[in-house]
Amino acid sequence: MTGAGTFRAAFDVPEFRGVWAGEALSQVGDQLARVALAVLVFERTGSAALAALTLGLSYTPAFVGSALLSGLADRLPRRSVMIACDLLCAVLVVVMAVPGMPLAVVCTAMAGVALVGGPFRAARLALLPEMLAGEAYVSALAIRSMTIQGAQLVGFAAGGVVVAFLSPRVALLVDAGTFLCSALILRVFVRRRPAAAGGVRRSFWSSTAEGVRVIRSVAGLPGLYVLGMLAGLYIGPEGLAAAWVSELHAPAATVGLLMGAPAAGLVVGAWLFTRYVDAARRPGWTGPLAVAAGAVLMLCFARPPVVVVLVILVVSGMCTAYQIQVGASFGRQTPAESRAQVMGLLNSGVLTAQGLGVVLAGLLADRIGVAHTVAVAGAVGVVVALGVTLRAGAVQPVGR
């Protein structure tokens, strides 16, 4: 079946259409809320640092939620977990929008939204292999990646418009509405399934430890986990975009282009990878694409002009489509009763790697410049990806 055909096959499943629509709505709403919250905090405090800290709270607690709370989606019905998370997030966002609400409460509510997002994402990723089989599942992951990147761009743009012409609170209320719509869509389109763990109840720590054990027990998954973490090295251009534009002496408007270039590349790469790479060959492409994503960034050692930088970032982003195969292998090879916890660990690892990657890249950029920092990150990625790929030569690749 062609890539286009498997895209249609995925959308032919009503359950997937529901999950996809709910995620697209939530992604747009989340980006809109981040813009609104940053503006709201800055208006009330006049502090750029506090505005940035508040924005950070929309990401950081997701690590804890993914690592420790994802097991809830194994111990409880996954649809119920997703609906409950959506409803709780809607309440928290409404609290943030209340006029005069103390900033401490606003920040706590934002952290709560990020925390709840961990088990929600784990439940959604764990459900996909149960809804879709074969190539339709891989295509669903590609559609999901493309949708997330596109929704983020739309959400940021819409957030700026709503905040500029209405108010940050209206934007927050719109975000709350997207959570309610997502819960309704899930209730209508996704059928209820029993808890995957079959009544087994573990503590949060025991559930996390079990997820680690599962990853280590499946041949090929530890190496793929490492390749997934390379997102922390390849995210540097997004976190350093403003400083890079200054270094390039480019117009301020270029910041958005630099931040969006890797995402645009990923959208194209996901489509190409799913449509033109045969399913049997995709596991073999995972390592080389991970190497290529870093190798392309190494061209920044030459301090190229902004147009060339944009091309480099788009091409590197295209190569990161290998992450689709990483997700597919994890989804297919882990047992249903612990799949949500495993997917949560994968997600939390990526979040941690991205957070540390941005911080370390910023520290290094102060010493050697942004272009050279991006190139160094690419070189480290090449070394790690090569090591994993060569070591995997003696291990049967995971890719069914």
| Predicted local distance difference test score (pLDDT) of residue 116 | 84
pLDDT of 153 strictly over 50? yes
> pLDDT tens digit string along 212-271?
787 777 778 888 888 988 887 887 676 677 778 888 888 866 776 787 788 888 888 888
What is the Cα–Cα distance from 113 to 54, expressed in whole angstroms? 12
Q: What is the mean pLDDT of residues 308-330?
A: 89
pLDDT of 399 strictly over 60? no
CA end-to-end span of the chain? 16
3-state secondary structure 100-137: CCCHHHHHHHHHHHHHHHHHHHHHHHHHHHHHCCCHHH
Domain layout of the chain by residue ranges: 1-201, 217-395
User: Residue 2: which region, alpha, beta or left (left: phi > 0; alpha: psi -120 to 50)?
Assistant: beta
> pLDDT tens digit string along 268-286?
888 888 888 877 788 888 8
CATH: 1.20.1250.20, 3.30.365.10, 1.10.357.10, 3.40.50.1110. Which one for 217-395? Answer: 1.20.1250.20
> pLDDT tens digit string along 109-152?
888 888 888 788 888 888 888 888 777 888 888 888 788 777 76
| Predicted local distance difference test score (pLDDT) of residue 288 | 92
| Kind and range of the H or E run holding 198 | none
Q: What is the mean pLDDT of residues 341-360?
A: 76
Contact 63, 355 (CB under 8 A): yes
| Predicted local distance difference test score (pLDDT) of residue 172 | 85
> pLDDT tens digit string along 59-113?
666 666 666 677 777 788 888 988 999 999 999 999 988 888 888 888 888 888 8
- Which residue type sits at 310? L
| Predicted local distance difference test score (pLDDT) of residue 91 | 94
Contact 391, 223 (CB under 8 A): yes
pLDDT of 397 strictly over 50? no
Q: What is the mean pLDDT of residues 351-366?
A: 77
Contact 362, 239 (CB under 8 A): yes
pLDDT of 384 strictly over 90? yes
Q: Which among 176, 183, 212 has a CA at the least distance from the CA of 120?
A: 183
Handedness of CA 27, 269, 392, 377 (dihedral sign): negative
> pLDDT tens digit string along 27-60?
777 777 777 776 777 677 776 556 656 665 666 6
| Predicted local distance difference test score (pLDDT) of residue 52 | 56
Q: Tell me the pTM.
A: 0.71
pLDDT of 371 strictly over 60? yes
| Predicted local distance difference test score (pLDDT) of residue 258 | 80
The 3-state DSSP class for residue 175 equals helix
What is the Cα–Cα distance from 114 to 110, expressed in whole angstroms? 6
Q: 188-197, 229-238, 294-303 — which one is most confidently predicted on average? A: 294-303
Is the fold of 1-201 the same as that of 217-395?
yes
pLDDT range class, residue 200, cuts 50, 70, 90: low
**Which CATH architecture describes the domain 1-201?**
Up-down Bundle (1.20)
Encoded tokens for 315: 């091409």
| Predicted local distance difference test score (pLDDT) of residue 64 | 66
